[in-house]
Amino acid sequence: MALTKITLQNFRNHAASELSDSAQFNLLVGENGAGKTNVLEAISLLSPGRGLRRAQLADLALRKTPDAEPGVFAIGASLVEQGQTSARLGTFTEPERPTRRMVRINGAEATASALSEWLAISWLTPSMDGLFTDSAGARRRFVDRMALAIEPGHAKHVTSLEAALRERNKLLETGGDARWLDAIEAQAAQHGAVVSAHRSRLIALLADELSALPPEPFARPILSYRPGGPTDVAELLASLARERRRDRAAGRALSGPHRDELDVVMAVSGHAAATCSTGEQKAMLIAITLAHGVLAASGRPSVLLLDEVAAHLDPGRRSELFRRLRIGRAQVWMTGTELAPFAEIEAEAAVWRVSNGELERL
């Protein structure tokens, strides 16, 4: 088990909700707009980043309650390992600083990156169905989210790389001090090489896990990592220095880890994922998510958030989905408008009915 006693205060349409006595399978059922996905989003914010909706903080707080502080919300959860509570994780905003997300671990102030040292969280939502036809940046974010399950410090390096590249862009534009530019490029090269190494290792592990799967019932994808430039520290540093004039004209660095790409091909047909049917793309995305769930559960406690994933699968694929989720051993949170698609696991699941931001344990 991973998370229990999850509390939401003034979050989205939840004024005060609590989910206790969770299980490996946890089901949230209710009508569309009831607040099911809001619970998943709250859980996703117990990890670095902006959560499964990538929402702005100002959009997260409940605004309908007269006594609720404007722009203020709180999310907390107990992390349970081998039957014992190992940590209390929390994230929140304060009236004095509503635009800054705060984090506490066991009551002590911490960084959002520190959350990944305790828990690995990944998700699959309907908005991700177009991942293979989306931008390369969307696929990099997808890869980086999965990499956190393997390398807890990955988020720090991604953030540092992005900050260094932004600063480099400013210096190139304004003609800043060359010595400062050298220092910024050294930071970008150092963090960039680590980011590349983490991504490459993740894709290799996923590829191995996927290679052992049958091609059906979920279309098996073949993954490969395509670097956007040099991956070695020295080579990346030399490239940044060499391409200053070109990058200044472009207004951005044209090569490096920020240009990496995830290539996906359907094993049976050999077609690029972007050219496959919508159903085939969804099946490959589920296969990747399940393979990652196995990897994530082999280290720290892990949580998998699946929004409306079962309703669009036929009975055979649903059964296989549940079977593989059991093998993965991650704690799973799923949403649906009715219980029928979850009949196979209902007896072993913790179930809540969600209605207008309120929860009822079934």
**pLDDT tens per residue, range 238-253:** 999 999 999 999 999 9
If asked whether residues 124 and 55 sit together in one domain, one would say no
CATH of the domain at 306: 3.40.50.300
> CB–CB of 185/240 below 8 Å?
yes
Cα angle value 336/338/342 (rounded, 5°): 75
Q: Which residues pair with 3 in a beta bridge?
A: 79
Q: Is the pLDDT of residue 235 over 90?
A: yes
Beta strands 302-306; 331-336: pairing state = parallel
What is the C-alpha R_g of the chain? 21
DSSP state of 357: T
Number of domains in the chain: 2
Q: Is the pLDDT of residue 1 over 90?
A: no
Q: From 279, 299, 319, give the residue that closes a domain.
A: 299
Per-residue pLDDT at 67: 59
Task: Round to whole Å and give the CA distance between 306 and 121.
Answer: 11
Per-residue pLDDT at 181: 95
Range of the domain at 84: 1-115+302-362
If asked whether residues 163 and 67 sit together in one domain, one would say no
Q: Which of 64, 38, 62 is nearest to 51 (CA)?
A: 38
Q: What is the chain's mean pLDDT, rounded?
A: 92
- Greatest alpha-carbon pair distance for the chain in Å reads 66
> CB–CB of 49/101 below 8 Å?
no
If asked whether residues 97 and 236 sit together in one domain, one would say no
Quickly list DSSP for 148-167. HHH-TTHHHHHHHHHHHHHH
If asked whether residues 184 and 250 sit together in one domain, one would say yes
Collapsing DSSP states into helix, strand and coil, what is residue 248? helix
Q: Which of 101, 114, 107 is nearest to 78 (CA)?
A: 107
Per-residue pLDDT at 133: 96
Task: Round to whole Å and give the CA distance between 292 and 286.
Answer: 10
Q: Tell me: the pLDDT tens digits for 309-321?
A: 987 788 888 998 9
The CA dihedral of 101, 107, 113, 119, to the nearest 10 degrees, is -120
Q: Which residues pair with 305 in a beta bridge?
A: 123, 333
Per-residue pLDDT at 260: 97
Task: Round to whole Å and give the CA distance between 197 and 232.
Answer: 9
Residue with tokens 């093998």: 327
Q: Is the pLDDT of residue 282 over 80?
A: yes
Q: Tell me: the pLDDT tens digits for 54-93?
A: 999 989 998 665 555 667 999 999 999 888 899 999 999 9
Per-residue pLDDT at 69: 63
If asked whether residues 108 and 145 sit together in one domain, one would say no
Per-residue pLDDT at 196: 97
Mean pLDDT of 261-266: 96
Q: Is the pLDDT of residue 205 over 90?
A: yes
If asked whether residues 190 and 81 sit together in one domain, one would say no
Per-residue pLDDT at 327: 82
Per-residue pLDDT at 349: 97
Per-residue pLDDT at 218: 82
Q: Is the pLDDT of residue 307 over 70?
A: yes
Per-residue pLDDT at 62: 85
Q: Tell me: the pLDDT tens digits for 95-105?
A: 888 889 999 99
CATH of the domain at 226: 1.20.1050.90
Question: Which comes out higher in pLDDT, residue 26 or 67?
Answer: 26
Alpha-carbon torsion 306, 311, 317, 318, what sign? Answer: positive
If asked whether residues 125 and 216 sit together in one domain, one would say yes
Per-residue pLDDT at 39: 98
If asked whether residues 176 and 286 sit together in one domain, one would say yes
If asked whether residues 338 and 293 sit together in one domain, one would say no
Q: Is the pLDDT of residue 233 over 80?
A: yes
Written as one letter, the residue type at 339 is L
If asked whether residues 45 and 97 sit together in one domain, one would say yes
If asked whether residues 255 and 193 sit together in one domain, one would say yes
Per-residue pLDDT at 64: 61
Q: Which of 291, 253, 283 is nearest to 266 (CA)?
A: 283
Per-residue pLDDT at 68: 58
Q: Tell me: the pLDDT tens digits for 123-153?
A: 999 999 999 999 999 999 999 999 988 898 9
If asked whether residues 258 and 153 sit together in one domain, one would say yes
Task: Round to whole Å and give the CA distance between 61 and 224.
Answer: 39
- Band (pLDDT 50/70/90 cuts) for residue 300 is confident
